């Protein structure tokens, strides 16, 4: 057992760093809760078709990165490489579209992709994901983008940038596709890239290889060939973002890594993360529900990487997430004092005070070290002599001041002390 380690490309989140991880996760989701989005929990694995049909057959995610396996019943299952497709499957299966629209949902959880591990890119990662389904309204697009921006701002991030474009829709994509295919046919591309272009030529624009990018300088761009309706939609989105105080950079070559995006498409990058600069992104996906066998309804959403955002927080030197600890600590000396300590800690926790005590056979010196390490501001020390006198010693661990308190008053005295401390801060 001593030789077992976490799989390659994964990592453990441990205290005290886990406090910062939780703070980032909770800060990113808080704007969603305030905006009335409801929490959803979906399985960490789905039928493979959920992702092959939803994410897109031409994507690297589907062709190269999915963890797919046959279960004992011979069914093809896949660990989710992203969260949107599974959430959309739940939306369809439970007929959420028959209720009030838009349906506003959010979730947070692990996703898995078989990628080459490097800084900021892992095989197991955590995402905050949100979706607004059933209404095609530029104001809703702007709300979605602004909620992500608010999460980053609440963390104190400043060095991030919103990249924004429109990828058109069924009214203009076919004509643009013909233009792009004609352009790509003239380029010197390898066979795999040409096969990808046959499925979705937009994916070639997302190719990061320098030898491919060097040939794309004059490639036609979707944003230059929008229909009147999609142009009006994009203009309205930008006006609403301006009204919400959100700034952006036009990114006409932005494609994103998934096939389902239409119209509004966006990505967040952080300039302190080097090559792996993306910390989140999303867009509108009006055909995804139908592609999964559901009703032809619109949708928009985003996913933000908790791990990536934490790296951005660290890059800016932000103090996010206090080290996990307790407010109160009880130090018992002797068996009778231990019974009192266990009861007192239980009462404090029931009253909403974070409290702990020492376990195992420790002397006063070792127990007080544990109290200091706990992060508590106050401690109660209960020795045999104290019990004989019917008191415990209430100690301020910051100043060293100590006073005797009757045993019957210890709970209220300790709760008042730590509550007073919270109020002063």
Long-range contacts of 359-363 (CB under 8 A, 24+ apart): 363/333
Whether 394 contacts 378, CB under 8 Å: yes
What is d(CA 224, CA 253) in angstroms, rounded to the nearest whole number? 11
What is the crossing angle of helices 138-155 and 228-243, to 10°?
40
Whether 336 contacts 317, CB under 8 Å: no
Whether 358 contacts 386, CB under 8 Å: no
How many Å is the maximal CA-CA distance in the chain? 94
**In the chain, helix, strand, coil percent, each to 5?**
40, 20, 40
Helical (H) or strand (E) element with 263: strand 262-270
DSSP 117: -
Cα 65 to chain centroid, rounded: 20
What is d(CA 135, CA 64) in angstroms, rounded to the nearest whole number? 33
What is d(CA 200, CA 174) in angstroms, rounded to the nearest whole number? 11
Strand locations in 296-413 (E): 299-305, 328-332, 355-357, 378-382, 391-396, 402-406
Question: Residues annotated as binding site?
Answer: 82-84, 113, 127, 131, 256, 260-261
Whether 417 contacts 396, CB under 8 Å: yes
Q: Which two tokens stand for residue 208?
A: 């990061």
Whether 107 contacts 83, CB under 8 Å: yes
277 phi, psi to nearest 5 deg: -90, -15
User: Regarding beta strands 45-47 and 76-79, do their DSSP bridges make them parallel or antiparallel, or are they unpaired?
Assistant: antiparallel
Question: Residues annotated as binding site for L-histidine?
Answer: 82-84, 113, 127, 131, 256, 260-261
Q: Residues near 367 by Cβ (< 8 Å), separated by ≥ 6? A: 331, 332, 333, 358
């Amino acid at each position: 057992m001593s030789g077992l380690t976490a799989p390659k490309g994964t990592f453990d989140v441990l205290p005290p760093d886990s406090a910062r991880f939780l703070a980032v996760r909770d800060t990113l989701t808080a704007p969603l809760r305030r905006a009335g989005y409801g929490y959803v929990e979906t399985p960490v694995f789905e039928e493979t078709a959920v992702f092959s049909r939803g994410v897109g057959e031409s994507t690297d995610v589907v062709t190269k990165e999915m963890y797919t396996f046959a279960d004992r019943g011979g069914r093809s299952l896949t660990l989710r490489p992203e969260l949107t497709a599974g959430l959309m499957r739940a939306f369809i299966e439970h007929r959420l579209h028959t209720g009030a629209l838009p349906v506003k949902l959010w979730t947070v959880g692990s996703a898995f992709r078989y990628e080459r591990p490097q800084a900021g890119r892992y095989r197991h990662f955590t995402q905050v994901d949100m979706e607004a389904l059933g209404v095609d309204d530029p104001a809703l697009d702007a709300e979605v983008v602004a909620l992500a921006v608010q999460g980053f701002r609440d963390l104190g991030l400043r060095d991030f940038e919103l990249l924004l474009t429109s990828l058109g829709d069924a009214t203009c994509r076919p004509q643009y596709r013909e233009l792009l295919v004609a352009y790509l046919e003239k380029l010197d591309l390898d066979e795999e890239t040409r096969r990808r272009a046959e499925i979705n030529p937009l994916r070639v624009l997302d190719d990061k290889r320098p030898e491919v990018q060097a040939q794309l300088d004059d490639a036609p761009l979707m944003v230059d060939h929008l229909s009147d309706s999609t142009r009006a939609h994009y203009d309205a989105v930008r006006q609403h973002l301006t009204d919400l105080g959100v700034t952006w950079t036009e990114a006409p070559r932005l494609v994103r890594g998934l096939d389902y995006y239409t119209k509004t498409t966006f990505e967040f990058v952080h300039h302190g993360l080097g090559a792996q600069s993306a910390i989140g992104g999303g867009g509108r996906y009006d055909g995804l529900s139908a592609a999964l066998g559901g009703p032809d309804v619109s949708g928009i959403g985003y996913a933000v990487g908790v791990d990536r955002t934490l790296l951005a927080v660290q890059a800016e030197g932000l103090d996010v997430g206090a080290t996990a600890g307790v407010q109160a600590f009880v130090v018992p000396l002797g068996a009778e004092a231990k019974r009192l300590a266990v009861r007192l800690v239980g009462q404090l926790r029931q009253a909403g005070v974070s409290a702990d005590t020492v376990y195992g056979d420790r002397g006063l010196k070792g127990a007080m070290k544990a109290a200091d390490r706990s992060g508590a501001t106050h401690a109660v020390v209960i020795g045999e002599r104290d019990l004989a006198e019917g008191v415990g010693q209430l100690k301020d661990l910051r100043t060293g001041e100590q006073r005797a308190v009757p045993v019957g008053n210890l709970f209220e005295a300790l709760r008042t002390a730590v509550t007073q401390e919270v109020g002063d801060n």
